[in-house]
Amino acid sequence: MSPFQIDLKKLVKINDLHHVLETPIGDVHPYYYDQKLYMFYLKTNGKYSSALLRSNDLSTFEKVEIINNPNNPSNTEYFVLAITNYNELFYTFYGAGTYIGSSKSKDLIHWEKGDINIPINGYQSSRDPFVFFNKDINKYQMIATTYVKHDDAVMDCLISITTSKTEQLDVWEKTSKELIRYKDGYHGEPEVAQFIKFDNRWYLFVSLARRTDHHVGGLTYYIGEENKGILEQDWQTKTEHMLDGEDLCAAQVEVFNNHNLVYGWIPLQHSGNHWGGALSIPREIYVGTEGKLYIKKSPLLNKFSEVKVFEKNNFNEPTKINLKTDKTHINIKNQLSELTVRFEKSKVKLTIDQNELKIMHDEKVFSKTRVEDLTEINLEVIIHEDIIECFLNDKYSLAARIDSRLKDDHLILNEYRQMFKFIELLELE
């Protein structure tokens, strides 16, 4: 097994581990360095305290204490967010009201107050900064959630961009530019935005809060024009696209070794706006036609530890399978464009049609995502207790926290006597 191929038996330990942390996992900021994945995240302890899980194989994580130097501390609980490597130091930036403050570290573990502040002039406040080096202009840039007005009645906010004066990280322009304005932030507040360039296009990723049952948004993105710089195009007029559904919360993209890795958190509860939950299975995104992005289960997850308990080929009769464990892996293949998989006792069902993949209970939708041009279905479903994660045709994914555990339920398939090529059910050890 390569260092980055994940044994799904170990993967389940991720979820088990995360369920027994003293607090659920809040917003994540993955950073890959020196053959390790550093999963910085915010604790859901009411203080948004920074914390760290670290992995050598993207599978088994260890808790690592991060230190805020008591002799020169960063002046916030959330002193480690997204990471920028500069001059043999690691910098991270955080909102501090009318400016963006920083922390710095030599080893990603021991941190202290940084010596770089980025001004936010003309606005009420700013948060969720993402700092990156833009090779197009040979300068650093920062995007952030910035508030024009924020009170009980009005939330007028935007994604702002600020540019360094030179190729150095420490001197910045005094004014920011507006990329996208969200004048009604109470129905779409931008959070944890990122700019990433794939091929010859820039992509703006953001989670838009206050639109869903869970408050925190799914993974929205905007497609840049080919061969145009960030500030050479009008982002306000671009179409919103979405990857996965509302239960892949505050997702972040980390690019390394030709992998465009995506992690988010899956809510602790199936309804309501409780903040934080369990870490998702890692996904990867890739560029399709006309610049659209697709999302699939990471190929680093190609090693499973499991026992096959059911298999059937080329059948058209109704099929009923008992789920005996909390951890189940299901693969289904057919040459149809529509499918319903139903769980008898819980009344949970997965549905696929020409437009959507949905995870539901009766008519209540837990999560959904758009699909296009289906001519066949290759569906992979991973169930862990009351979490379902679906992967369709290596192009779409969908996560959901549902309202019951599926152990001892019955999977009902092919009630309409369609012709199926294949189904298998495996129990994860």
> pLDDT for 359-383, tens place per residue?
999 889 999 999 998 999 999 999 9
Same domain, 389 and 248: no
pLDDT number for residue 419: 81
Average pLDDT over residues 320-342: 92
Q: Residues 177-182: contacts with CB within 8 Å, 24+ apart?
A: 177/231, 179/143, 179/204, 179/230, 179/235, 179/236, 180/204, 180/222, 180/235, 180/236, 181/156, 181/157, 181/236, 182/156, 182/157, 182/158, 182/208
Q: Would you say residue 2 lies in a domain? A: no
pLDDT number for residue 23: 72
Query: How much of the chain exceeds pLDDT 70, in percent?
Result: 94
Q: Would you say residue 3 lies in a domain? A: no
* 2 has pLDDT over 70: no
Question: Which residue, among 55, 60, 62, 51, has the nearest Cα to 24 in the 3D structure?
Answer: 51
Confidence of residue 14 (pLDDT cuts 50, 70, 90): very low
pLDDT number for residue 137: 98
Domain containing residue 216: CATH number: 2.115.10.20
Confidence of residue 61 (pLDDT cuts 50, 70, 90): confident
Confidence of residue 316 (pLDDT cuts 50, 70, 90): confident
Average pLDDT over residues 171-199: 95
Q: Which residues on neighbouring strands pair with residue 181, listed in sequence order?
A: 158
pLDDT number for residue 17: 34
Same domain, 95 and 230: yes
Mean pLDDT of the chain: 91
* 5 has pLDDT over 80: no
Confidence of residue 21 (pLDDT cuts 50, 70, 90): low
Domain boundary (301, 335, 363) is at 301
pLDDT single digits (tens) 82-116 = 999 999 999 999 999 889 999 999 999 999 999 99
Same domain, 45 and 132: yes
pLDDT number for residue 15: 42
Q: Which of 423 and 60 is assigned the larger pLDDT?
A: 423
Q: Would you say residue 256 lies in a domain? A: yes
Average pLDDT over residues 18-37: 82
Same domain, 147 and 221: yes
Q: Do residues 276 and 247 touch, judged by C-beta distance below 8 A? A: no
pLDDT single digits (tens) 294-308 = 999 998 875 667 889
pLDDT single digits (tens) 221-240 = 999 999 999 999 999 999 99
Confidence of residue 8 (pLDDT cuts 50, 70, 90): very low
Q: Do residues 32 and 38 touch, judged by C-beta distance below 8 A? A: yes
Question: What is the CB neighbour count within 10 angstroms for residue 205?
Answer: 22
Question: Which residue, among 238, 186, 195, 172, has the nearest Cα to 217 in the 3D structure?
Answer: 186
Same domain, 116 and 58: yes
Question: What is the CB neighbour count within 10 angstroms for residue 273?
Answer: 13
Q: Which domain holds residue 403?
A: 306-428
pLDDT single digits (tens) 115-159 = 999 998 889 999 999 999 999 999 999 999 999 998 888 899 999
Q: Would you say residue 352 lies in a domain? A: yes
Domain boundary (301, 333, 355) is at 301
Q: Would you say residue 219 lies in a domain? A: yes
Q: Would you say residue 144 lies in a domain? A: yes
pLDDT number for residue 300: 81
Cα gap 102→100, rounded to integer Å = 7
Q: Would you say residue 322 lies in a domain? A: yes
pLDDT number for residue 303: 61
Phi/psi zone of residue 199: left (φ > 0), alpha (ψ -120 to 50 degrees), beta? Answer: left
Q: Would you say residue 375 lies in a domain? A: yes
* 71 has pLDDT over 70: yes
* 429 has pLDDT over 80: no
pLDDT number for residue 36: 94
Taking the mean position of all CA atoms in its chain, how far away is CA 225? 24
Confidence of residue 336 (pLDDT cuts 50, 70, 90): confident
Residue with tokens 């030599």: 106
Domain boundary (301, 329, 348) is at 301
Confidence of residue 77 (pLDDT cuts 50, 70, 90): very high
Same domain, 330 and 264: no
Cα gap 75→285, rounded to integer Å = 35
pLDDT number for residue 340: 92
Cα gap 192→206, rounded to integer Å = 6
Average pLDDT over residues 286-301: 93
Same domain, 190 and 203: yes
**In Å, what is the CA distance from 86 to each residue of 34, 76, 95, 189?**
15, 22, 20, 30
Same domain, 292 and 340: no
Q: Do residues 397 and 352 touch, judged by C-beta distance below 8 A? A: no
Cα gap 283→256, rounded to integer Å = 13
Domain containing residue 322: CATH number: 2.60.120.560
Q: Which tokens in the block code for residue 411?
A: 């999977």
Note the residue count of the chain. Answer: 429
Same domain, 251 and 363: no
Domains held by the chain: number: 2
**In Å, what is the CA distance from 104 to each residue of 22, 117, 158, 174?**
27, 12, 27, 22
Same domain, 22 and 92: yes
Same domain, 295 and 312: no
Question: Which residue, among 38, 104, 8, has the nearest Cα to 261 in the 3D structure?
Answer: 38
Q: Which tokens in the block code for residue 227?
A: 């061969």
Residues 6+ positions from 133 with CB-CB distance below 8 Å:
84, 139, 140, 141
Question: What is the CB neighbour count within 10 angstroms for residue 354?
Answer: 10
Three-class DSSP category at 286 = strand
Cα gap 217→27, rounded to integer Å = 11
Same domain, 337 and 391: yes
* 344 has pLDDT over 90: yes
pLDDT number for residue 10: 47
